[in-house]
Structure 1
Amino acid sequence: MHSADRQKTGIVFNIQKFSINDGPGIRTTVFLKGCPLHCRWCSNPESQAMAPQVLRDAKKCVGCHHCVEACPAHAVTLDANGALHFAPNSACAGCGRCVRECPAQALEVAGERKTVQQVLDVVLQDRPFYEESGGGLTLSGGEFLLQHEFSLELLKAAKEEGLHTCCETTAFAAPDVFDAMLPYLDTLYIDMKHADADRHKKFTGVDNALCLENLAHAIAAGKDVLVRIPIIPGFNDSTDDAERMAAKLHEIGAPRCQLLPFHQFGENKYALLGRTYAYRDVDALTKDALADTVALFRVHGIDAFV
């Protein structure tokens, strides 16, 4: 790889080391900002917008309003009632000055521009753990395919270093973008939200045609694919929903799937972003609650597990 390729930049909002649920073995998961889907239950709402965002903890804020003065882009303002407002992402440069100068440490920035080499340097710190456990690098998000040029160069660099690579994706991307990644991915964790295009669009903002097309292509190409289905109350948790999803997976040749019970781990992040959480009053699902769904998938020949 040319050195210039390792200087390509992307916007990363987290690099999580010692991940054990994001692919085989011990892994480092790189979370990229930006997602074309806006799932109502999203547990990483700070991942949806491409640009950096300021998160504010109202419980820590002392109301000094120094962030208003500190922001060089004038992206932080006060309304007539004295309430703080952070401007849309396009106005915020993500410089982090408001965060650094907040006396109560009530602010943080989600998202930082990094080069391929900077990310790779962090990933390579744990090479011995990958070699011992069969782990490696996982790209996640957001949707890593949205930053496809950066993602492709990072995957190429990882393979040059002999690392196992994995991704967590919705597979919502142009087929040529998706296909360009496949030679550099050893394992793919691909989401399936719903089998019905209209219902998928109502709850995520996009239909599922591209997702299913790319999923089918990855399976047909012989890639190691695990389909993951978040089971969301009121969206895809009925017997009919399960029947249709299982039938679709059988049709495209998916051998297995993992069912992910709905949880509320990301609820607090909505408050930090000043957003309302649509599933605030919805109870989390237990593993036992999905026993019948697992059995139904297995009737269709899909090796389902929670």
Structure 2
Amino acid sequence: MQQKKALLFNIQKFSIHDGPGIRTAVFFKGCPLKCNWCSNPESQMGKIQIAWDAAKCIGCKKCVKGCPEGAISEGENRILIDNEKCKGWQECMKGCPANCFQVEGEYKAVDEIVAAVLKDRDFYEESGGGVTLTGGEVLQQADVAMELLKELKKHTIHRAVETTGYTTSEVFERFLAQVDLVLFDLKHYDTVKHKEGTGVDNAIILENMKLTVQKGKQIIARIPVIPKFNDSLQDAAGFCRLLMDVGIKEVNLLPFHQFGQKKYELLGMKYKLNNVKPLHPEDLQDYQKVFLGNGLDCKF
């Protein structure tokens, strides 16, 4: 029987920020949230995309003529790629003499992914690490992700997932059964503000966060701290009330950064946080103290 394939946009080895020990992070493509600050905009669309680098372009227009779907056109000072029309044939790449294009996304079978991550098994065992499924939102491809998690269990690999929890409770409960650690992304405690920043409300997310605790899973809340969205001391207190009510005791703060800014340009996407200054742990000491003062284990 033909094995299901996962649409990934990266497999990152030697990750030390996605769970305990040395880990391999498997990045799934596709996400129902559209966070204004997203540092991986290539993760949002659940299909293969083509990125274009203006700095390399020599203006030959061979890509416009060569696209079989008519997905490439000339814009003002740039090439435009219609991702709805694009079928990922990559003819634009083959015909470009300046190598302006790159593919974002690749389908991989479960066996391929397992083989890739097992190469570093010795590092997992020595450091107490393992594999973390992340994204995008891995729950967008829940079935194939669960197959992968089951295979990893056969090899006694520690399995973590970074997720927004945005799916039905039925799917999430089945998914939780295959996971050792949940890194639960929490963008905002307030429903209205959550929708303003991500495009969706947080009702499903909060229900699945509670379900994670009820099932006795190890859980760490991860809060991206974003200027003028959730960075006030009042916001810190709001998060604390929510986490204590749910029963989560461990929190990671993720200060806002601009590492993904260039990707928006390559993908022809609008970035809403241009010129917003990054935050650093030293900027958030008082913010962290609110969590610590409420008895929460809060780290950067």
Tell me the TM-score normalized by structure 2.
Answer: 0.96
**One-letter amino acid of the structure 2 residue matched with residue 264 of structure 1:** Q
Asked if 1 retains the 8 angstrom alpha-carbon contact of 2:52 and 2:79, the reply is no
Aligned mate of 1:46, from 42, 46, 55: 42
Change (3 A) 1:270 1:159: same
Change (3 A) 1:101 1:128: farther
Instruction: State yes or no: 1:250 paired with 2:244.
Output: yes
- 1:100-119 Cα offsets, whole Å, 9 max, x none, are 43221111010111211121
Partner of 1:210: 204
Instruction: State yes or no: 1:267 paired with 2:261.
Output: yes
1:145-294 matched pairs, under 5 angstroms: 145-294=139-288
Structure 1 residue 83: Cα displacement? 4.4
Structure 1 residue 18: Cα displacement? 1.1
Instruction: State yes or no: 1:85 paired with 2:80.
Output: yes
Partner of 1:25: 21
User: Whole-Å Cα distance in 2 between the matches of residues 70 and 122 of structure 1?
Assistant: 34
1:293-304 matched pairs, under 5 angstroms: 293-304=287-298
Structure 1 residue 256: Cα displacement? 1.1
Secondary structure of 1:184 counterpart: coil
Secondary structure of 2:93 counterpart: helix
User: Whole-Å Cα distance in 2 between the matches of residues 95 and 74 of structure 1?
Assistant: 12
User: Whole-Å Cα distance in 2 between the matches of residues 27 and 91 of structure 1?
Assistant: 37
Secondary structure of 2:26 counterpart: strand
Secondary structure of 2:224 counterpart: strand
- 1:218-238 Cα offsets, whole Å, 9 max, x none, are 122111111010110000011
**One-letter amino acid of the structure 1 residue matched with residue 44 of structure 2:** Q
Asked if 2 retains the 8 angstrom alpha-carbon contact of 1:94 and 1:111, the reply is no
Q: Percent identity?
A: 46
Asked if 1 retains the 8 angstrom alpha-carbon contact of 2:30 and 2:46, the reply is yes
Q: Which runs of 4+ in 1 moved over 6 A?
A: none
User: Whole-Å Cα distance in 1 between the matches of residues 49 and 219 of structure 2?
Assistant: 32
What are structure 1's unaligned runs of at least 5 residues?
Answer: none
User: Whole-Å Cα distance in 1 between the matches of residues 108 and 95 of structure 2?
Assistant: 22
Aligned mate of 2:58, from 52, 62, 75: 62
Structure 1 residue 288: Cα displacement? 1.0
Secondary structure of 1:225 counterpart: strand
Partner of 1:12: 8
What are structure 2's unaligned runs of at least 5 residues?
Answer: none
Report the aligned-residue RMSD. 1.4
**One-letter amino acid of the structure 2 residue matched with residue 95 of structure 1:** W
User: Whole-Å Cα distance in 2 between the matches of residues 189 and 50 of structure 1?
Assistant: 22
User: Whole-Å Cα distance in 2 between the matches of residues 116 and 97 of structure 1?
Assistant: 27
Q: How many residues align?
A: 300
- 1:195-216 Cα offsets, whole Å, 9 max, x none, are 1001101110111111111111
Aligned mate of 1:35, from 31, 36, 43: 31
Structure 1 residue 140: Cα displacement? 0.6
Secondary structure of 2:9 counterpart: strand
User: Whole-Å Cα distance in 2 between the matches of residues 125 and 103 of structure 1?
Assistant: 36
1:113-152 matched pairs, under 5 angstroms: 113-152=107-146
Structure 1 residue 95: Cα displacement? 2.6
Secondary structure of 2:222 counterpart: strand
Asked if 2 retains the 8 angstrom alpha-carbon contact of 1:10 and 1:150, the reply is yes
